[in-house]
Amino acid sequence: MIDAVGPGVIGLAVGDRVWLFLSAFQRPTGTAQEFTILPIERVAALPDGVSFDVGASLGVPALTAHRALTVHEDGPSRLAPGALKGRFVLVAGGAGAVGHAAIQLAHWAGATIITTVSSAEKAALATAAGADVVVNYREEDAAARIREAAPAGVDIVVEVSPSANAALNAAVIANRGVVAVYATDGDGRLTLDVRQHFGLNVRYQFVLLYTFGAAALAAAVADVGAALRDGALPVGSEAGLPITRFTLEETAAAHDAVAAGAVGKVLIDVTVAGL
């Protein structure tokens, strides 16, 4: 919530509910504190009725997911209801924070969503988020299951582990499809069969929130805002994103939980003295 605004600020005012992004990027501190000062360009309105838990869960995951879903050669460059109708989206690691946001945004935009997970528990989370087909890659022939759901291949892959999944992606990608890579889980090096990808005109697009440009960032913020107003980005176990909570004094423990691979979202509850 906004406590004060500087001169020249328009569109937001004291008392407005907001969500933040890039809070610590090129700045000395983030938001694990009672008060923080941010440029207005890194603050967006949180619609009435949307919880602060949702607002705190957006940031990097939602904006990254938006970018990954909008880099296909044939578009769309913006998301809205119906924008991905007829498209098949494969989300690797659908129980992770970015994977969860990608499922929710793709569902809101009308795509058919396939996701891969490593356990029955994570499958339940991905299903709750809105995935249409959930594949346990440890127990099933992932390529066969994906091809069964998308006979012509998947149009967009939202990829967390490009090295480990390179062969699978090559087996299921559609002609002119894109693999949008937002992380390097497992290995930072990637080996591809060049001839196979030539034949399908496949694009690999690397996605990093901090540097993907002002226009793409503004589009993502606007579209995430629209999804919020439509109630498309809920959090909590029932929505596929369990919440683990810590107090402000437990911030170090919260970081430890993230480093240890906590499933879902880790949030820090900040209580401002006197308010």
Residue-averaged pLDDT of the chain: 94
CB atoms under 10 Å from CB of 274, counted, come to 5
Instruction: Indicate the pLDDT class of residue 28, thresholds 50, 70 and 90.
Output: confident
pLDDT of 82 > 80? The answer is yes
Higher-confidence residue of 36 and 174: namely 174
Residue 8 falls within a domain, yes or no? no
pLDDT of 274 > 70? The answer is no
Q: What is the mean pLDDT of residues 141-146?
A: 97
C-alpha span between 221 and 163 (Å, rounded): 30
Residue 201 falls within a domain, yes or no? yes
State the pLDDT at residue 186.
82
State the pLDDT at residue 275.
52
**Domain extent at residue 189:** 65-211
How many angstroms from the chain centroid is the CA of residue 18? Answer: 19
CA atoms within 13 A on the CB side of 190: 21
Q: Contact at 8 Å (CB) between 87 and 61? A: no
Could you give phi then psi for residue 69, rounded to 5 degrees? -85, -5
Which one of 168, 186, 211 terminates a domain? Answer: 211
What ranges in 18-161 are assigned the alpha helix state H?
Answer: 52-57, 59-68, 97-108, 120-129, 142-149
What is the tens place of the pLDDT at every residue in 111-136?
999 999 999 999 999 999 999 999 99
Residue 222 falls within a domain, yes or no? yes
Residue 159 falls within a domain, yes or no? yes
**Which structure tokens are listed for 226?**
């629209």
What is the tens place of the pLDDT at every residue in 223-239?
999 999 999 999 999 99
Does 133 lie in the same domain as 44? Answer: no
Report the domain count for the chain: 2
Which amino acid makes up residue 89? V
Long-range contacts of 163-168 (CB under 8 A, 24+ apart): 163/187, 163/188, 163/189, 163/190, 163/191, 165/92, 165/116, 166/190, 166/191, 166/192, 168/116, 168/137, 168/142, 168/143
Q: Contact at 8 Å (CB) between 126 and 103? A: yes
Residue 4 falls within a domain, yes or no? no
Does 134 lie in the same domain as 38? Answer: no
Does 81 lie in the same domain as 36? Answer: no
Does 199 lie in the same domain as 79? Answer: yes
Q: What pTM value is reported for the model? A: 0.94
Which one of 211, 232, 261 terminates a domain? Answer: 211
* DSSP assignments along 180-196, one per residue: EE---TT-S-----HHH
Quick one: DSSP state of residue 41? G
